[in-house]
Amino acid sequence: MPSLSADQAEIMAALRTRVGNARGPRYWRALDELIDEPAFRRHLHDALPQVSQLAPALDRRAFLKLLGASLALAGLGACSGPPPERILPWIQQPEGVPDSLPQFYATTLCAGGNVAGVLVETHQGRPTKIEGNPAHPASLGGTDPLLQAAVLELWDPDRSQSPVHQGVASTWDAFATEAAALQRRFEPDGRGLHVLSGTIRSPTLARQRREFLARFPGAAWHQYEAVDEDNALAGAMLAFGRPLQMRLRLDQAAVIVSLGADFLYEMPGHLRHARDYADRRKRVLEGFTGRDPSSAPTPGRLYAIEATPSLTSANADHSWPLAESALPAFARELAAALGIADAAGGPASGMPERRVQAIAADLRANRGQSLLLAGPSLPAEVHALVHRLNAALGNVGRTLDYFEPAEPREASAASLQALTAAMSGGMVEALVILDGNPAYATPGELGFPELLAKVPLSVHLGLHRDETGVACHWHLPATHALESWSDLRAFDGSASLVQPVISPLYDGRSMHQLLDLLTGSGGAPPIDLVRVTWDGVLDEAGWQQSLRQGVIGGSAPHAVGATASAAPSVELSHETQGSDIELLFRPDPHIRDGHYANNGWLQELPKPLSHLTWSNAALVSPRLAAELALGNGDVIRIAANGRELEAPVWIMPGQAERSITLPMGYGRLVAGHVGEKLGFDANALRHAASPWRIEGARLTKTDRHVALASTQQHHRMEGRDPVHRMTLAAFLANPPAKTPERRSLYPPRLQKSGAEGYAWGMSIDLDACIGCNACTAACQAENNIPVVGAEEVRRGREMHWIRVDRYYEGRPEAPATWHQPVPCMHCEHAPCEVVCPVGATVHDSEGLNLQVYNRCVGTRFCSNNCPYKVRRFNFLQYADLDTPQLEAQRNPDVSVRNRGVMEKCTYCIQRIRVARIGADREGRRIEDGEIATACEAACPTRAITFGNVADPDSAVSREKASPRSYALLEELNTRPRTTYLAALRNPNPALEDES
Amino acid sequence: MNATSPRAPVIHGDPGIGGLTARLSDLVLERPPGRGWLIAMVVALALAGLLAASIAWLLYRGVGIWGIDMPVVWAFAIANYVWWIAIGMGGTFISAALLLARQPWRNALNRYAEAMTVFAVAVSSLFPILHLGRPWFFYWLAPYPNRMALWPQWRSSLLWDFFAILAYLIASILYFYIGLIPDLATLRDRSRTRGKQVFFGLLALGWSGEARDWRRHETLSLLLAGLAVPLVFSVHSMVALDFSEALLPGWHSTIFPPFFVAGALFSGFAMVLVLAIPLRRLFGLTDLITARHLDNLGRMVLAAGLFVGYSYAVEIFTAFYGGDRYEIALAMNRLTGHFAWTFWIAIACNVVAIQALWFRAVRANPAALFAIGLTVLVGMWFERFMLIVTTLYRDFLPSSWGTFRPTFWDYATLAGSIGLFALLFLVFVRVLPVLPMFEMRKLVQHREARP
């Protein structure tokens, strides 16, 4: 914000001149006098409102302190504690915890369109870490990387700090004057007044929208989301005539057919879906290995048919790439095979008939416990057909049900187009943008930034002064979700409250406050704006209960009976025009539509499957790459509909042959220090009428090359079998024998467990792991792991303590994909320990392999000798020691490492210590499950189990007793404490001859 | 009689005892620096300056200025270290082992070869320190008494390597210095300026030339030689154990200690050869460092090189014979992988090129010997680089396989280390007698006494 700093410089210059002119003893009086001088006060008020408000009440010393703090730290909030209102700690918090221990607050976050309840860990009032709320239906304790990164978003030093008017620092008071003028101007009917928000997921925002439209009946409220659910909405309208929402019960579904629906990672509710999916698989195995195999649920099977591989297809028992243009035809063929006759006809999808028949037979055999899903990018007709199929298979009410959404749902693309039409028609006199970035995240053909420039008055509320904030007349800083009162509805319709866990760090306000300012006086305390919504639903006790619990009991809507009508037999066309290459647009797995571009954790987190960081890339199939002689990082020019862009390619095994996927969210121009000028902006080619897919793209290879930063260079197991895997049938018929304890000539160097009888160990279930990287993100947040940047990642110097390896097997056109999280193995015979000349890596009595940062001189021999390559070295000074906001974000229980030292996973030793202190105080042993490492706690599928392996009854010991248990690189006799459970797949016996 | 035959004289012509002393001491005391020396000095100073800049930048920024990465956390620095310390071996072996073996022809070579050892070991010992993440704490490897009562970790080969280098450096400096004392006294006596008299007088430690002095000197030399020879073997074995101790394929091998000793002899002799040829030319010493010396050095290079070639063969053979998946993959990777070119450069330089030394005509041709010597030095550097990088960039888990791309600072440090060595050596040839006067006098006397 150059204007702001210019202003500040001016103030300082004024101060200096005045103080400089004063001589001798007058010097100290000068400041007081200066403050009281009206002209100076006005000036000060404009540039530094925080200071000017406080100034009269302050003595000289406090004023100087404040001034210094404001100028130097630019509003650092490290000293701000909890907000003034009564916020309530999470219900299970023990009573009377001392201040030094972290406090947990339950709140709700919306990340990438997914609403989930979370617990926020705060240290002395500073939020440092997000955990899932086990009581919340969309989390059940799990989190994803976006939720983990919310704390960094809060502490982002590039956040907007004060209102800006026409590029000049301003104040909320000045805006309040503007808002009052607006109200007067648009009284009574509000024609020409437009509001643009994202999808409304907050009951309070819905209420405020109703009130706004009641106050200004002629005004228009638009909802636009770059990652929309329009097709699902339209599909429901087609099938039911009402915008019903689907609620999945994956724990009941044996056979799942996903047509491009990434329910494990992308779709709202994915944490819950992943948990339900994994839990059912666990129950199947437990049933078979238990006493009574007849109690086991039917073994499940997942078929994924999609154009671009996702984590769902990576975890499927059968995944077949198919161009998205052919997916409707495939849906129809499947419907025909299931006896829905009117679906027959039309062009063929190209999928072999026997696969269609095999799936249909599997679905028929599992009536009532099967599930078909259509992805958000498929046309509404396919969604409608899927509703019919689910009904025909008797799945409704068993593996899914429907409910009426409480908040008004609106087709996002149509809503945006209505706005742009009004803007180009000059009908928009004032536009208020609530927390969105339409100047970036809208299809390029609409030319939104140019239209925005023509609007006479534009107001933008946002966390960052981004592309839209710069283009608008007014930019207003928004409070972060962790600083605001609000409420949100999750994927299943259940509502929960958003409570602030810290006072706003900067001069921000929430969108509820902004709307209050636009419709009323704006003076209402933020908490009241939310409480009003729940008047009559929640009494005082209910309010408190909801805050403590993190979910509003009984708020989930009831299922409604719905019959999918057979009527809309719409032509599912399969047309091609020009070339046969289709372009698919997808939100980036971590940056989404660009919202998280300035988040270093998310930029550096390897994207699932491609393992790319810091950039997007056009995903092309291996065959298309061979045809065009493309290698990873070669830049192609893509032209479609008269627009073109240049993008580096990434060869994606499992990508449909003629489909190119363009991830969105990159190419940001005004995002902050971290997120600008990375990758390419796919919006340039996006089309408002068909935002997910365009056909007839033409490609030309350029001679440019971009060095993409991927964290994994090699993708095959090379016969080394780091991931043990087998089919369910083979496992049940012939469970692998436990490898006998290896004999050694040498006496065991270490005791099995410490004096107190603890021996820490971990088991990672590769059958449950979906490869979502939540563990990596959680570990980064918990352990103060620095972000190193694209150039360092290109050099292989990323610092993540736990990484998720991904291996491909089989043909690159349709490979099997395997994931394997790799933290430190905490080997009992640790090869790293013997080679350290200074004893900086040592073993403790409980089996932890510890790194003593203070002692490390950085020979790096330990890393050489680690067969698992889990050690990370500070080649340069990676930890940012200068930015005060980042200091405030850090976990005070974990050392920040400086350059030249080695670091690695500690099994979250700080959490072990906390548990031990608690247990010691109460004179008891640490209970099983009392310690959850950060990765374990974050895992949505509970693939990671940590505990005391010396206790045969602990959860981790039970896992390790499984016949699926194995140690990575067991032949090296390092005796790792981290072990794995083999992954299983359950391919259809009818398709045995396929992959 | 052929000039290169084993019975050929090791001194040509008859310089006479006095003439010899005058000639050699005049090199130090009287001879003005030549053009060649000045040019070489400028180049060496520039390169040494580059080294100083590299080190300053390294200390300021960290080892990340090099191309090292995960998983290749060792590369140039360690390759340079092993390369330089191996070069040092040549001098010690010539002066100590051949002294014990009573090979008088070595007398013409041992002084500058010992200087070479001291400088090479000094340059090499920079690298283990600089390569540390926190070089200013290198002394933590030493078992010194400290407030925290911390010892080093005795099982690590790096620790023993630290001791080995230190012991070797001290022993080679001592040996070099003891050998210099009689000559320093000669220089003191022949100096005509007060400054030089004081300088050499202080260094000569009051040497009077009495029989008692000579007897003690002889005994001490023999003792130090007896100490230096096992040290040579131990230091290179220790260097080898830095790698053998790891469980990595391609490093975890019992052949490494003898292999490293052979490699050290090989590159050491090559360096002696590379230094001898310009030295005898520039200082007009062809009658003292004769064709027979060069011939002998050529034979030594060939013998050591054959052993090195044998080691390569054994490594590959045992990989396949042992049948270990990882060793086989590594061997294949060395032969055909991304860095296979380094392996083939090493083979071309260290195995193929030296076969020319079977021919007497090649051994009699100083230019050819010089070229082969340089080739071997290049080859041995690549061998160390290959050994380190090919093992590290692809170890056990394919997911962590990576690559290595050197940066400017990698090259700058390597070039700078050569510059520093050259600088030290150029100063040495101007300040100290490049040939041991007293030992050369012995040779002449021997010859005069015999007929």
Q: Judge: A797–B247 Cβ closer than 8 Å, yes or no.
A: no
In this prediction, residues B266-278 reach a mean pLDDT of 92
What distance in Å separates the CA atoms of residue A793 and residue B70, rounded to the nearest whole number?
10
Q: Are residues A253 and A376 located together in one domain of the fold? A: yes
Nearest CB partner across the interface for B156, out of A797, A834, A900: A834
Q: Is A516 inside a domain boundary?
A: no
Cβ-based contacts of A969 with chain B (< 8 Å): 396-397
| Contact (CB, 8 A) for A663 and A649 | no
In this prediction, residues A125-141 reach a mean pLDDT of 92
Cβ-based contacts of A803 with chain B (< 8 Å): 399
Domain ranges of chain B: 28-140+152-449
In this prediction, residues A126-148 reach a mean pLDDT of 93
**pLDDT 10s digits, A439-484:** 999 998 899 999 999 999 999 999 999 999 999 999 999 999 999 9
Nearest CB partner across the interface for B247, out of A805, A859, A865: A865
Amino acid B148: pLDDT: 82
Q: Judge: A838–B152 Cβ closer than 8 Å, yes or no.
A: yes
What distance in Å separates the CA atoms of residue A526 and residue A530, rounded to the nearest whole number?
7
Cβ-based contacts of A712 with chain B (< 8 Å): 399
Q: Within an 8 Å CB–CB cutoff, is residue B392 touching chain A?
A: yes
Amino acid A600: pLDDT: 94
Q: Is A995 inside a domain boundary?
A: no
Cβ-based contacts of B398 with chain A (< 8 Å): 714-718, 720, 722, 807
Q: Are residues A312 and A209 located together in one domain of the fold? A: no
Q: Are residues A849 and A915 located together in one domain of the fold? A: yes
Cβ-based contacts of A713 with chain B (< 8 Å): 401-403
Amino acid A857: pLDDT: 94
| Contact (CB, 8 A) for A388 and A340 | yes
Q: Judge: B398–A720 Cβ closer than 8 Å, yes or no.
A: yes
Q: Judge: B405–A795 Cβ closer than 8 Å, yes or no.
A: yes
| Contact (CB, 8 A) for A477 and A508 | yes
**pLDDT 10s digits, A575-623:** 545 568 999 999 999 999 999 999 999 999 999 999 999 999 999 999 9
Print the domain residue range for A743.
725-985
Nearest CB partner across the interface for A857, out of B137, B392, B399: B137
Q: Is A874 inside a domain boundary?
A: yes
| Contact (CB, 8 A) for A598 and A672 | yes
Amino acid A96: pLDDT: 53
Amino acid A127: pLDDT: 92
Question: What average pLDDT is seen over chain B?
Answer: 89
* Most distant pair of Cα atoms in chain B: their distance: 74
- Whether residue B2 is predicted with pLDDT greater than 80 in this model: the reply is no
The angle at the Cα of A462, spanning A457 to A464, to the nearest 5 degrees, equals: 115
- Helices B157-190 and B107-130, axial angle in degrees (round to 10): 140
Report which residue type is found at A52.
S
The minimum CA-CA distance between A783 and chain B, rounded to whole Å, is 20
Q: Judge: B246–A864 Cβ closer than 8 Å, yes or no.
A: yes
Amino acid A651: pLDDT: 95
Question: Which DSSP state fits A741?
Answer: P
Q: Are residues A897 and A773 located together in one domain of the fold? A: yes
Nearest CB partner across the interface for A837, out of B153, B397, B402: B153
Instruction: State which residue of chain B sits closest to A611, comparing Cα positions.
Output: B399
Q: Judge: B152–A839 Cβ closer than 8 Å, yes or no.
A: yes
Cβ-based contacts of A855 with chain B (< 8 Å): 140, 150
- Whether residue A95 is predicted with pLDDT greater than 80 in this model: the reply is no
Q: Judge: B396–A969 Cβ closer than 8 Å, yes or no.
A: yes
Optimal mutation site among A749, A795, A903, A980, interface B, most CBs of chain B within 10 A? A795
In this prediction, residues A358-365 reach a mean pLDDT of 93
Q: Is A343 inside a domain boundary?
A: yes
In this prediction, residues A613-636 reach a mean pLDDT of 94
Amino acid A578: pLDDT: 53
Strand ranges, E, within A880-943: 902-903
How large a percentage of chain A has pLDDT more than 90? 64
Residue A939's closest CA among A473, A260, A275?
A: A275
Q: Is A834 inside a domain boundary?
A: yes
Burial B150-170 (b: 16+ CB within 10 A, else e): eebbeebbbbbbbbbbeebbe
Nearest CB partner across the interface for B248, out of A718, A834, A864: A864
In this prediction, residues B309-338 reach a mean pLDDT of 92
Q: A952: how many CB neighbours lie within 10 A of its CB?
A: 10
Amino acid A77: pLDDT: 40
Q: How would DSSP label each residue in A840-898?
A: -EEE-TTS-EEE-TTT-----HHHHH-TT---EE-SS--S--S-HHHHHHS-TTSPPP-
Q: Judge: B73–A901 Cβ closer than 8 Å, yes or no.
A: no
Amino acid A11: pLDDT: 55
Cβ-based contacts of A856 with chain B (< 8 Å): 133-134
**pLDDT 10s digits, A551-573:** 998 888 888 887 777 655 555 55
Instruction: State which residue of chain A sits closest to B67, comparing Cα positions.
Output: A795
Per the structure, the count of domains in chain A is 6
In this prediction, residues A153-181 reach a mean pLDDT of 92
Q: Is A79 inside a domain boundary?
A: no
User: What is the value of pTM for the model shown?
Assistant: 0.89
**pLDDT 10s digits, B92-136:** 888 888 878 777 777 888 888 889 999 999 999 999 999 999 999
Q: Are residues A831 and A854 located together in one domain of the fold? A: yes
Nearest CB partner across the interface for B155, out of A719, A834, A968: A834
CATH classification at residue A247: 3.40.228.10
Q: Is A511 inside a domain boundary?
A: no
Nearest CB partner across the interface for B132, out of A835, A858, A972: A858
Q: Are residues A150 and A169 located together in one domain of the fold? A: no
B residues 48-67 near A, CB within 8 Å? Answer: 61-65, 67
Q: Are residues A449 and A492 located together in one domain of the fold? A: no
Q: Judge: B133–A902 Cβ closer than 8 Å, yes or no.
A: yes
Strand partners, A867: none
Which CATH homologous superfamily contains domain B28-140+152-449? Formate dehydrogenase/DMSO reductase domain (1.20.1630.10)
Q: How confident is the model at residue A341 (pLDDT cuts 50, 70, 90)?
A: low
What distance in Å separates the CA atoms of residue A83 and residue A479, rounded to the nearest whole number?
12
Which secondary structure element, helix H or strand E, spans residue B344, and what is its range?
helix B340-347
Nearest CB partner across the interface for A835, out of B73, B141, B245: B245
Amino acid B447: pLDDT: 66
What distance in Å separates the CA atoms of residue A327 and residue A329, rounded to the nearest whole number?
5
What distance in Å separates the CA atoms of residue B3 and residue B10, rounded to the nearest whole number?
9
Q: How confident is the model at residue B90 (pLDDT cuts 50, 70, 90)?
A: confident
Amino acid A7: pLDDT: 54
The minimum CA-CA distance between B73 and chain A, rounded to whole Å, is 6
Optimal mutation site among A836, A842, A860, interface B, most CBs of chain B within 10 A? A860
- Greatest mean pLDDT among A170-184, B32-46, B48-62, B243-257 lies in B48-62
Nearest CB partner across the interface for A900, out of B62, B70, B400: B62
- Whether residue B434 is predicted with pLDDT greater than 90 in this model: the reply is no
Q: Is A272 inside a domain boundary?
A: yes
Q: Are residues A298 and A359 located together in one domain of the fold? A: yes
In this prediction, residues A210-215 reach a mean pLDDT of 92
Q: Are residues A633 and A492 located together in one domain of the fold? A: no
Q: Within an 8 Å CB–CB cutoff, is residue B406 touching chain A?
A: no
- Whether residue A856 is predicted with pLDDT greater than 90 in this model: the reply is yes
Q: Judge: A835–B246 Cβ closer than 8 Å, yes or no.
A: yes
Q: How confident is the model at residue A306 (pLDDT cuts 50, 70, 90)?
A: very high
What SS3 class is residue A472? coil
How large a percentage of chain B has pLDDT more than 90? 62
Residue A787's closest CA among A805, A771, A799?
A: A799
The minimum CA-CA distance between A599 and chain B, rounded to whole Å, is 24
**pLDDT 10s digits, A501-548:** 998 999 999 999 999 999 887 788 889 999 999 998 889 999 998 998
Report which residue type is found at A835.
V
CB pairs under 8 A between A and B: 166
Cβ-based contacts of A714 with chain B (< 8 Å): 394, 398-399, 401
Nearest CB partner across the interface for B73, out of A833, A863, A901: A863
Amino acid B26: pLDDT: 81
Residue A763's closest CA among A568, A890, A936, A617?
A: A936
Q: Are residues A58 and A139 located together in one domain of the fold? A: no
Q: Within an 8 Å CB–CB cutoff, is residue B141 touching chain A?
A: yes
- Which stretch of B109-118, B239-248, B438-447 has the lowest confidence by average pLDDT? B438-447
Instruction: State which residue of chain B sits closest to A794, comparing Cα positions.
Output: B69
In this prediction, residues A869-897 reach a mean pLDDT of 92
Cβ-based contacts of A858 with chain B (< 8 Å): 63, 132-134
Q: Within an 8 Å CB–CB cutoff, is residue B403 touching chain A?
A: yes
Q: Are residues A557 and A490 located together in one domain of the fold? A: yes
Q: Does residue A558 or residue A16 have the better pLDDT?
A: A558
Strand partners, A107: A118
What SS3 class is residue A945? strand
What distance in Å separates the CA atoms of residue A931 and residue A914, rounded to the nearest whole number?
9
Q: Are residues A877 and A819 located together in one domain of the fold? A: yes
Q: Judge: B398–A714 Cβ closer than 8 Å, yes or no.
A: yes
In this prediction, residues B3-27 reach a mean pLDDT of 72
Output the six-digit token pair for A230.
């329009």
